[in-house]
Amino acid sequence: MSLLHPVVTRFAPSPSGAMHVGHALAAYVARRMADLHGGFCLLRIEDIDTMRTRDKRWIELMMEDLDWLGLHFDGNIMVQSSRFDIYATALETLRSMGLLYPCFCTRARLSAAAHDIARAPHEGIAPQRRYSRHCRSITPTEAAERIAAGEPHSWRIDMQRVQDLIGCPTWEDLRAGVQRCIPSACEDVILSRKDTPTSYHLAVVIDDAQQGVNLVTRGADLMSSTPIHRAIQALLGLPTPLYAHHDLLLDGHTGKRLAKRTGAASLKALRDAGFSAKQVMASIDRALKRGGMWSMEE
């Protein structure tokens, strides 16, 4: 496999709290991959969830933290909350292809159903396929009536239909090699809801293409989302970047995944505790060599 030139990577945080050492690792990996290949590393603020990211001070604190760490980015910063129109247009394209259906399930119903699936994995339901497609069988007439009556709903993508349309395209991870996207094995994810008229899955695909990102570096927790992204790229005629999913940080003492908001691992807390940026970056470097096991102690 050969990397495209120039390599364009990005760091795409969702600023809903203080930046954690795990975010620093993600930023560092993106920056380093760009630097290794003489390329560019862009910054994108993923703030489509306007409730969770309404406090803009998190962005300021994040910029301070990144500056303190010596992590800098190229070009203009893209801000997703200023791009809702663009996502809406793409959503309409998918709708006009007959790929969206309304889901009227309440949160309670969804968690009860997820529970049933988790208890019956032998029944042939892929574990990642959480949503039972319960609302897929609602007739268009009934759906239209319920929408007209003001019943709350979100819009899901019918991945079986996606497969009928695009088949099973491939994508490539730098570490794991060539992967095949099997749309029907993916969940019918939500692409739009009332309070958030787009979704991470839609926005990330559109913006990576818009920013010319050709190498997506991100945590291994998102590896299971990549087939969904690959499918959306195929549907919207967008290019497919290379991917490099990196290890997530684990607590060096317990081996457990560092909780997102573990106070002690916030960059601000490390800074306030007297650690230097150099020490923090060195701890990240060590963790990368130890499968993610992170500790400030050498």
Where along the sequence are the contacts to Zn ion (CB under 5 A)?
A: 103, 105, 134-135
Please say which residue, 87 or 131, places its beta carbon nearer to Zn ion.
131
Least CB distance to ligand GLU at residue 218 (A): 3
Element (H, E) at 135: none
**Which residue is it, tokens 């959503």?**
91
Cα of first residue to Cα of last residue in the chain, in angstroms, is 35
46 makes contact, choosing from ligand GLU, Zn ion, none, with CB < 5 to 8 Å by partner type, with ligand GLU
Burial class (CB in 10 A: 0-12, 13-18, 19+), 247: middle
The span from the CA of 157 to the CA of 154, in Å, is 10
The span from the CA of 195 to the CA of 92, in Å, is 17
Least CB distance to ligand GLU at residue 77 (A): 14
134 makes contact, choosing from ligand GLU, Zn ion, none, with CB < 5 to 8 Å by partner type, with Zn ion
13 makes contact, choosing from ligand GLU, Zn ion, none, with CB < 5 to 8 Å by partner type, with ligand GLU
The span from the CA of 43 to the CA of 213, in Å, is 11
218 makes contact, choosing from Zn ion, ligand GLU, none, with CB < 5 to 8 Å by partner type, with ligand GLU
Binding site for ligand GLU (CB under 6 A): 12-14, 46, 204, 218, 222
Least CB distance to ligand GLU at residue 9 (A): 10
Please say which residue, 79 or 112, places its beta carbon nearer to ligand GLU.
79
Question: DSSP 3-state assignment of 211?
Answer: coil
